[in-house]
Amino acid sequence: MLCLGIESTAHTFGIGIVDEKGNILSNEKDVYKPKVGGIHPKECTEHHLNVANDVLKKSLETAKINLNDIDIISFSQGPGIPGVLRIGAVFSRALALKLKKPLFGVNHCIAHIEIGKLLTHSIDPVTLYVSGGNTQVIAFTEGKYRIFGETQDIGIGNALDKLARELGFEHPGGPKIEEYAKSGNYINFSYVVKGMDLSFSGILTEAKKKIKNHSINDICYSFQETCFAMLTEVTERAVAHTDKNEVLLTGGVAANKRLQEMLSIMCKERGAKFYVVPQEFAGDNGAMIAWTGMLMYKYNPHGMKIYETKINRFWRTDEVDIPWIS
């Protein structure tokens, strides 16, 4: 049984192919890079439209299969940028109708968790999902992935990218900030945790103002230390509250070694196991959509009706029923 999954929520157009055991046969992608600034929705939509066929071809080649060998089609239905989401939706509908195979719209955030669990063999983690557009602390209780804490404004990745742009670095700026943060002295930043929620946009404004009077190293170091401490605090509280003993880090920002270090210290102190998704599968990718499609298929072999596959730009993690976890 093979599922072909299409990711198309933001910068990445990806197609992955997985089997029912969770073997990943291919995970091809083409990532849109803005010439200036952040993601330009119209340019990004055009990019995905232009690369879709090639990514499909490559994915089938890598998996060493033909299109007719595919049994299930899935795509990222939301949350994401509307025009960009539509490319994946239209492409996958066309494939499903052509091949007469069941079609599944997958929640992008849940796909990040499921691929993480598959690849790290964690079973019931508190997940810290940190990417460009999303920042959520998620755990499974009573049939759903519940959001225990989240950003009230921008995602941490987006905050890093915006600061990076201000410092003159290319997009995406997260890795550059990590490099400069290796040496630096701490300068004071606001620490914005409200209950279990976080806010980064005020700290970002503060950082921009401080650029004039402080070194790049000090800014990058202090920005990371502050924001990552906030993320670690909220994650720790979710662990304490749910009494779970695993933490899973995923999303593009999961690549950051300092964030990994802070979380692993917290986990060690609490006696919890800490897992990080392998980098290839931490950022947006098609394999995670394919694997989640496979999980959905097991509980709904007929797939969704076409009218149920409309994109859902604000689709929340906790709106989705999860029949595959008992």
Binding site for Mg ion (CB under 5 A): 131, 284
Closest to ligand AMP by CB, 157 or 293: 157
CA distance 325 to 141: 10
Q: Which of 78, 157, 184, 286 binds ligand AMP (CB under 6 A)?
A: 157
DSSP 102: -
Q: Which is nearer to ligand AMP, 88 or 172 (CB)?
A: 172
Q: Does 184 bind ligand AMP (CB under 6 A)?
A: no
Q: Does 286 bind ligand AMP (CB under 6 A)?
A: no
Q: How far is the CB of 209 from Mg ion (least distance, A)?
A: 29
The yes or no reply on residue 80 touching ligand AMP (CB under 6 A) is: no
Residue among 59 and 135 whose Cβ is closer to ligand AMP: 135
Are the beta carbons of 323 and 97 closer than 8 angstroms?
no
Contact partner at residue 161 from Mg ion, ligand AMP, none, CB < 5 to 8 Å by partner kind = ligand AMP
Among 45, 120, 199, 256, binds ligand AMP (CB under 6 A): 256
What is the distance between the terminal CA atoms of the chain, rounded to a whole angstrom? Answer: 23
Residue 51's CB: how many other CB atoms inside 10 A? Answer: 19
Q: Does 116 bind ligand AMP (CB under 6 A)?
A: no
Q: Which of 284, 280, 287 is nearest to 2 (CA)?
A: 287
Count Cβ neighbours within 10 Å for each residue of 86-107 and write b for 16 or more, e otherwise.
bbbbbbbbebbeebebbbbbbb
Nearest 5 degrees, angle CA 144-CA 197-CA 244?
45
Site residues (CB under 6 A) for ligand AMP? 131-132, 157, 160-161, 172-175, 178, 251-253, 255-256, 283-284
